[in-house]
Amino acid sequence: MTAGPVVGTPYGAVHGRYESGVAVFRGVPYAAPPFGALRFRPPVPPEPWHGVRDAGAFGATAPKPPYSEAFAQYLSDPSVPGDDCLNLNVWTPEPGPGARLPVLVWLHGGALTRGSSAVPVYDGRAFARDGVVCVSVNYRLGVEGYGLFPDAPANPGLRDQLAALEWVRASIAAFGGDPDRVTVAGQSAGAISVGALLAAPAAQGLFRRAVLQSGPPEAADRDKVRRMVRRMAGRLKVPATAEAFAAVDPDLLLRTQAEVGKLSSPVLGGPAFGVVVDGDLVPGDPLAAVVEGDAGAGVDLMMGWTRDEYRLWLVPGGLLERVDRLGSLALTAVRARCRCGPEVTRGYRALHPDAGTAEIVGQLVTDHLLRIPLHRLADARPGSSYVYEFAWPSNRPGLGACHALELGFVFDTGEAPESRMLAGEGAPKELADAMHGAWVRFVSDGDPGWEAWDATHPVRLFDAGAPRTVRGPRDRELALWGTGFSPSGTRSRLPVRR
């Protein structure tokens, strides 16, 4: 092995690399390989090793199907073979005890079926460059991590994330991090995971701050998850049990999962994998536990969404044009999807008279799935919650400010080809400086640089030019749902804070 940093963990020493002035450790096990007798079971600690383990390359990624061709042109998702997929990566400016630097733990998105810590967009060097120890985590996905079986515990993928946080608590000081200054952050399914951990009694005390980007605390309907498993079982002609699924060829299992789930999407709905209430790790609905109870008390929150989340769900494959052609039929369908009355769709039409049907449908679904619950969460934590919207439109045709576009700006990895897959060429570096800087400040001291949530609903807008704060930019739409929001006709004319 070449010269590089060596750090001890509770299970053995690891040998990293110095890259661009920071120390990087990849593929560090935090739990044992979840196969054999451990298939579909909660994670257990890894076997200790003797000597020094090489941590120069990304570890195995969790089993997952590839993205469809329509999505693969926008989203990178490398696959690394191997069973030892419960691993994590650490970027640190100063390995060794004594530094006591703030820590960011990153949980990737991907609908709980795809994604990994090896995605180049999530490279943590910029965080380490700016004084933050960055940890990115692999966890079980799809039916392996979120299948619901009568003969196995629920939520093994979420239990993996909890085990990773426990590893951070026990080990991160040796990498220069402060175990009392941990922020857990995620996007999309990763943010939903953060919300579940925020509400989980077993995770209390493992992190001080949390970031939820494009995903709220929520629990999936158990019947929807069961339907995924039963449909897979029907195609495979096996019982819908963990024991039977464990005997299926792994590649066939992944292909079947992809076939059963191909018609599910945030817009269309349908059966899908998700975090479920299990009476144990997730004792009740996570949003209710945080909003109506004291779960996650004392945890500072930062929450955000993109202006045009829905465009990543509708543009690939031409679904946006098909929704536009459906017209009123699409609006009727989205009312059923969002459980709202015709007055809501009429109200959106009145507020956005120049918008096409697909845009109305997309914004309705985005508000239903993301903005309403995140507003509720912020309203329950005024003074310690910060909210933002990412509004810069991609340079790739049709994407707008779509789901996941902001991640290359958060990690300041805009030069990576994988970031340009979504952003196109010429993404503004000053926007990455602003977005990444806000995350660094929040992780470091809990203040991203604008005022905390209050009755005026301040939202930091990240777009071309300097970031600015606007008041209640979504309040008029959200008031249509009858959820207690007040229209912001006067708020929108309040002075802008720069």
CA gap 417, 402 in Å, rounded:
18
State how far Cα 65 lies from the chain centre.
18
Question: In CATH, which of 3.30.930.10, 3.40.50.300, 3.30.420.40, 3.40.50.1820 is domain 308-498?
Answer: 3.40.50.1820
| Cα dihedral 45, 98, 208, 444 sign | negative
CA gap 388, 458 in Å, rounded:
8
The H-or-E segment that residue 24 falls in is strand 22-29
> pTM for this structure?
0.95
Question: What local confidence, expressed as pLDDT, does residue 364 receive?
Answer: 95
What is the 8-class DSSP label of residue 369?
I
CA gap 324, 305 in Å, rounded:
23
> What region, left, alpha or beta, does residue 336 occupy, with left being phi > 0 and alpha being psi -120 to 50 degrees?
alpha
- The count of other CB atoms within 10 Å of the CB of residue 318 is 11
Length reported for the chain = 498
Q: Using the CB atoms, write b or e for 79-105: b if 16+ within 10 Å.
A: ebeeebbbbbbbbbbbbeeebebbbbb
What are the residue boundaries of the structural domains of the chain, listed by start? 1-220+276-298, 308-498
CA gap 332, 340 in Å, rounded:
10
The residues that are catalytic are 188, 309, 403
Please name the CATH architecture into which domain 1-220+276-298 falls. 3-Layer(aba) Sandwich (3.40)
Question: What local confidence, expressed as pLDDT, does residue 343 receive?
Answer: 95
* Mean pLDDT per 10-residue section of the chain, whose length is 498 residues: 86 97 98 97 97 98 95 97 98 93 98 97 98 98 98 98 98 98 98 98 98 97 95 98 96 95 80 94 97 94 98 92 91 91 95 95 96 97 97 98 98 97 97 98 98 98 97 96 55 31
State the Cα torsion 168-60-37-251 to the nearest 10°: 140
Report the Cα–Cα distance between both ends of the chain, in Å, rounded.
50
Two tokens, residue 418:
């994988």
The H-or-E segment that residue 127 falls in is helix 125-129
Question: What local confidence, expressed as pLDDT, does residue 493 receive?
Answer: 29
CATH fold match for the domains 1-220+276-298 and 308-498: yes
